[in-house]
Structure 1
Amino acid sequence: MQSQVRKNQLSFKAVILLMTFGLIPIALAAQSFQLSKNEGEVKVTGTSTLHDWEEVAEQRNGSMAIDQSGELPSISSLSFTIEAESLKSGHDGMDKNTYKALSTNKYKEIVFKMGEVKSISPVVSTTNKYKVVASGNLTIAGKTNKVDLPFTLTVHDGKAILEGTKPLKMTDFGIEPPKALLGTIKTGDDIEVHYNTIWK
């Protein structure tokens, strides 16, 4: 009986060792990328009853892990954060209205964290470039919604470029579109986030 127990224990240890060493090549194949803070751009655009507007995110960071050992790259993790009060339009009054709408006194960051990659396919006639749809949680002004994030991914020479556009509605995140001049100027509910980011 004791002999059988020992054999079972040894077999179990052998399986664990095989699993561990079997996972090592996968872990080594995944390459970690950090969002470059001084290159690329993330901006938000929208409309108002007076004119169209845009705000650029000046403070952002993120990380991404990509495994390129297969026929198609595999993104195992992706997250990025924008400092809410780093959104700048070039107009102090508009920025103050934005920060008030985003409740930046309570919620300092806008955060996306990927849960899964829903699809990835190569861009025809282009090497190292892929169309990707990633699903994950986007948190704005303290409210988290699950969103699909579409982008093109280019990976070459230790650098990744992630670019795309994501339409959103402010009210989906409990944000009342900002107003100015006693409500005579109203911001539209629909916005777009444009991202052209460099990862190294």
Structure 2
Amino acid sequence: MISYIKKNQRSVKLALLATVLGLVPITLSAQSFKLSNGEGKLMVTGTSSLHDWEEVAEQKSGTLQVDVTGELPKITTLKFTVEAESLKSGKGAMDKNTYKALNTDSHKQIVFQLSSIKEISPVTSSSNKYKVVANGNLTIAGKTNKIELPFDLTVNGDKAILEGKKGLKMTDYGVEPPKALMGTIKTGDEIEIHYNTIWKK
């Protein structure tokens, strides 16, 4: 009876050990990256009745977690944040109008938070590049909308690259397109976000 109990105890311990060891590769396979603020570029472009315009985000941050052990990578975490008043056009008056439209006194950040991955497929010309469509929540000027965010993801060792573009309407976020010179210059409602971002371990 005693030998039977000891044998069962050994079996339980071995089963637990196998379970723990089996989980180790899963834990180690999840790679975490941080958005590199000093590299890459995130830019907003748009139109006006006078000329096209662009603003570059000078302060951005984020986290990305990818499991690359399977046939296709699994993106478990994706969040990036832009400090609203770090959007710079090179024209002080335009920047001031932008911050007023975004109500940056109350809403300091623009944030995207992943909720799920809709699609992911390999780019045939590259072994470590994938086309992705992510579902998530985008918050601008305090209003949050669900969006689909398309991008190409490249994972190469200790670095990941996320690049693409997304069209939006300012009015969808309660933002009135800025005006200048007593309303004689009007900004178009449609904008486009261009992102070519570098993420590092």
Q: Fold conserved (TM > 0.5)? A: yes
Deviates more, 1:125-134 or 1:41-50: 125-134
Change in CA separation of 1:16 and 1:110 when aligned onto 2, cut-off 3 Å: farther
Alignment of 1:2-151 (within 5 A): 22-151=22-151
Query: 1:18-75 CA distances to partner (integer Å, 9 max, x unpaired)?
Result: 8766544322210000001110000000000000000000000001001110111111
Equivalent residue letter for 2:134? A
Match of 1:4 in 2: none
Cα distance, 1:156 vs structure 2: 0.8
Which runs of 5 or more residues in structure 1 are unaligned? 1-13
Shift of 1:125: 1.8
Work out the CA distance in 1 between the residues paired with 2:102 and 2:15: 51
2:70 alignment partner, SS class? coil
More deviation, 172-181/122-131: 122-131
Q: Percent identity?
A: 67
CA distance in structure 2 between the partners assigned to 1:121 and 1:70 by the alignment = 13
Q: How many residues align?
A: 188
Deviations 1:143-170 (A, max 9, x none): 0000000000111121100000000000
- The change in CA–CA distance for 1:15 and 1:45 in structure 2 (over 3 A counts) is farther
| Displacement of 1:136 | 0.5
Structure 2 runs not aligned, ≥5 long: 1-13
Q: Return the alpha-carbon distance in structure 1 between the equivalents of residues 22 and 102 of structure 2.
A: 47
The separation in 2 between residues aligned to 1:79 and 1:18, in whole angstroms, is 34
Tell me how large the CA RMSD over aligned residues is: 1.8
Amino acid at match of 2:140: I
- Please give the secondary structure, in 2, of the residue aligned with 1:94: helix
What is the CA–CA distance in structure 2 between the aligned matches of 1:176 and 1:152, rounded to whole Å?
Answer: 31
